[in-house]
Amino acid sequence: MVNKEEINSSNFILRKAKIKDVKQIHALLMESAARGKLLARPLNQLYHHLREFVVVETEADKPIIACVALSITWSDSAEVRSLVVDESYQKLGLGRKLVEHCIKEAKEFELKRVFTLTYQVDFFNKLNFKEITKDQLPQKIWADCIHCPKFPECDETAMIFNL
Ligand SMILES: CC(=O)SCCNC(=O)CCNC(=O)[C@H](O)C(C)(C)COP(=O)(O)OP(=O)(O)OC[C@H]1O[C@@H](n2cnc3c(N)ncnc32)[C@H](O)[C@@H]1OP(=O)(O)O
């Protein structure tokens, strides 16, 4: 078990995902999906979108403990997706660090906004995301949501951060 008194998010390595990480990313996502925290993504999608992912590891070549993906959806927007921090490492600032990394990357791409679809409204509120209606994300709806098993009865909340 992790002693949360002794560590903080600066102890960890945040890096671009590599091909060897895909199965661990998949396992992290599946575990959270089984608890109803997010929607699972199949392995083939993770391979297709691997370049969008960053991961966190405790030390070089140790198992990864967190991940996130930033997916560009249109000329001005990107989506924060597949954010998971392993349960043992939650509340150490890693989720914040990963979302802040996405925001920094979106700025480098000169995008205008970052959005997310989530059940973790309070967490994203803390990071200054604001709730919006889903009809403000038409490209997302036609690109991805339409293929979702929950469509059109989406129970996630759309949230946005203007850059
Ligand atoms: C876009 C998507 O992918 S949405 C899916 C999000 N993922 C999940 O729900 C999977 C399961 N949950 C998790 O992986 C984690 O709990 C996360 C990603 C939601 C949060 O990660 P953590 O590393 O625990 O968050 P972190 O420690 O950075 O917290 C940042 C702030 O949010 C707060 N916070 C963390 N989780 C929550 C929560 N569930 N509700 C309210 N506040 C929260 C923290 O207390 C902290 O506040 P502070 O800055 O005032 O101290």
Query: If you average pLDDT over residues 20-26, what whole number do you get?
Result: 97
How many whole angstroms from 83 Cα to the centroid of ligand 1?
9
3-class SS of residue 19? helix
Is the pLDDT confidence value at 150 over 60? yes
Residue for token pair 């060897």: 20
How many whole angstroms from 119 Cα to the centroid of ligand 1?
11
Give burial (CB, 10 Å; 0-12/13-18/19+) of 17: buried
At residue 61, the pLDDT reads 78
At residue 50, the pLDDT reads 98
Is the pLDDT confidence value at 1 over 60? no
At residue 5, the pLDDT reads 59
What residue spans of the chain are helical by DSSP H? 22-34, 43-48, 94-108, 121-126, 138-143
Is the pLDDT confidence value at 59 over 90? no
ipTM score over 0.95, yes or no: yes
Q: All domains of the chain, ordered by start, with CATH?
A: 4-162 (3.40.630.30)
At residue 153, the pLDDT reads 85
**pLDDT range class, residue 7, cuts 50, 70, 90:** low
| For the chain, percent of residues with pLDDT exceeding 70 | 94
How many Å apart are CA 146 and CA 125, to the nearest integer?
Answer: 26
How many whole angstroms from 49 Cα to the centroid of ligand 1?
23
Ligand 1 test: best mutation among 38, 123, 126, 155, most atoms within 8 Å of CB? 123
Give burial (CB, 10 Å; 0-12/13-18/19+) of 68: buried
- Whole-number Cα distances in Å, 77 to 74, 81, 90, 106: 5, 13, 28, 8
β-partners of residue 77 are: 113
Residue for token pair 């929950």: 150
How many whole angstroms from 161 Cα to the centroid of ligand 1?
16
At residue 62, the pLDDT reads 84
Largest CA-CA distance found in the chain, in angstroms, rounded? 46
Residue pLDDT, tens place only, 91-118? 999 999 999 999 999 999 999 999 999 9
Query: If you average pLDDT over residues 138-154, what whole number do you get?
Result: 81
**pLDDT range class, residue 33, cuts 50, 70, 90:** very high
**Between these two residues, 46 and 153, which has the higher pLDDT value?**
46
Ligand 1 neighbours by CB, cut-off 6 Å? 32, 37-38, 80-85, 90-96, 116, 118, 120, 122-123, 126
At residue 121, the pLDDT reads 98
